[in-house]
Amino acid sequence: MLTILKKIFTWWNRETIGTRIKTIFFGKLVGKDDFGNRYYQSKNGKRWVIYYDEIDASKIPVEWFSWIHFMPNKIENYHELKKHSWQKPHQPNLTGTDSAYYPNKTKKDAIQKKYKSWKN
């Protein structure tokens, strides 16, 4: 019962009832990415994504980001994307989490001020 109410009234828990109905009647599945996000397009050209887990726009990989924003790119077939050996896998934005990047310092040192406050 609680999950049904979450889907009706909240948008941050994956898809709402309205999005699900729109997807069923008007959406055509275009593809899925490695994270499990599903990408849809309607007959009139609107595009949207249904996130697998938590809604976060930084979880969209580059190839799907360009598709959803109607940006032309050289990737014609999204299903057989071949990445180079030197390319790292896509990661969502980790700022503000425990996995955030702090260059050459411990987390405690990075948060400390790099200046001294002026006193009267």
Q: Residues 12-70: pLDDT tens digits?
A: 666 777 788 888 899 999 999 888 899 999 999 999 999 887 788 888 888 888 888 88
Find residue 28's DSSP bridge partners: 41
Q: What is the DSSP letter of 57?
A: G
In the sheet where 47-50 sits, what is the strand order? 28-32, 38-41, 47-50
pTM over 0.85: no
Could you give the 3-state DSSP secondary structure of residue 112?
coil
Q: Which of 56, 55, 1, 50 is nearest to 21 (CA)?
A: 50
How many angstroms separate the CA atoms of 107 and 120, rounded?
Answer: 31
How many angstroms separate the CA atoms of 92 and 112, rounded?
Answer: 26
- State residue 71 phi and psi, 5-degree precision: -95, 130
